[in-house]
Amino acid sequence: MPFVFLALAGVFWGLGFPLGKIALHEMVPAHMVLLRFAVAAIVSLPFALASREARRLFRNGPVVLAGICYGVAFMVQFEGLARVTVTLAALLVGAMPALIAVTAFVLRERVSRASWLGVIGATLGAVLIAGKPDGSGSPLGIALSLVSLVIFLGWLLALRGAPKTSPGMAGAMAVPAVTVVIAAITVLPIALLLHGAPPLHVSAAAWGGIVGQGLLSTFLATVAWNVGAARVGSAAAGVFINIEPLVGSVLGIGLFGDPAGATIIVGGLLIIAGSIVTVLGERPEPEGGERMADAAHGLSTD
């Protein structure tokens, strides 16, 4: 069952790209992200206000910073998605484990040789796609997609300072729920300042994309990941990160007719394979040491 939950989380995250692309046909990225987080925040609010422990998180510096980074990262990511194909945006997310490994090394955490090989492979894949996207997007869209990963990394770093919560589903959901609510509060003034009030009179398809992102790609993905990752080893859980770019790219090619040239295929395979090698190459830290990868595996939600 833990692996079923992890697989569902990866699928739900991967669905965020095609669902977002549908909504982007009728609104700007900032409005889409605002409405997505509004839906997710409504569902998350009961968890965020359920206990005094959860409510205190709204005054916790690392959690507040994580929420701000989370909201801004999605805005940047979907500004990039508006300029690239679903497939390209999804595959670039596969470089995230490589970024985590590099940051772990900078923070003086041990990184194995196998992980470094994975980092090199994933980096080469991202460089290959960025250098020759085969008509899948503009350089600006690729740059924004990659910058969003750096901001997501900041979100994970901030979460490392979040306080431990009580056991059980309510405790496990406290930090993710508060993070989502803070992200929604962060996105609101930015979207209003840039583009004014979001359009509400859009098609059923656009609303389906927005609600799907809020419920599936944000709220349920977080729940499924936390339940699954708490019951298996971090290396095993980390492999499921790669379901997100795999699902996104398959749907992009199959449903949106995204171009699938040799560069995209080879680069995507390098990213996914490199990410798997990076995760499986992790070495367990001595007891009491907390790893960047553990934060990513237990707290991720894309």
Query: Which tokens sit at 113?
Result: 């040789």
- Start-to-end Cα distance in the chain: 21
Percent of the chain with pLDDT over 70: 78
Look at residue 131 in the predicted model and tell me its pLDDT.
Answer: 59
Closest to 35 (Cα-Cα) out of 220, 182, 178, 200: 200
- Chain mean position to CA 150: 11
Token representation of residue 240: 């499921």
Closest of 71, 73, 40 to residue 214, by C-alpha: 40
**Rounded CA gap, 180 and 42, in Å?**
10
Which token pair is 56? 């205190």
Question: What's the pLDDT at 159?
Answer: 79
Which whole number is the average pLDDT over 200-223? 91
Looking at residue 75, its amino acid is M
Angle separating helix axes 139-159 and 292-299, nearest 10 degrees: 100
pLDDT of residue 134: 56
Q: What pLDDT digit, counting tens, does each position of 155-205 carry?
A: 878 877 888 888 777 777 888 899 999 999 999 999 999 999 999 999 999
Mean pLDDT of the chain: 80
- Helix then strand then coil, % of the chain, to nearest 5: 75, 0, 20
Mean pLDDT over residues 88-95, rounded?
A: 75
* pLDDT tens string 39-72: 999 999 999 999 999 999 999 999 999 999 999 9
pLDDT at 301: 42
Least confident span in 12-16, 82-86, 197-201, 267-271? 267-271
For 213, the enclosing helix (H) or strand (E) is: none
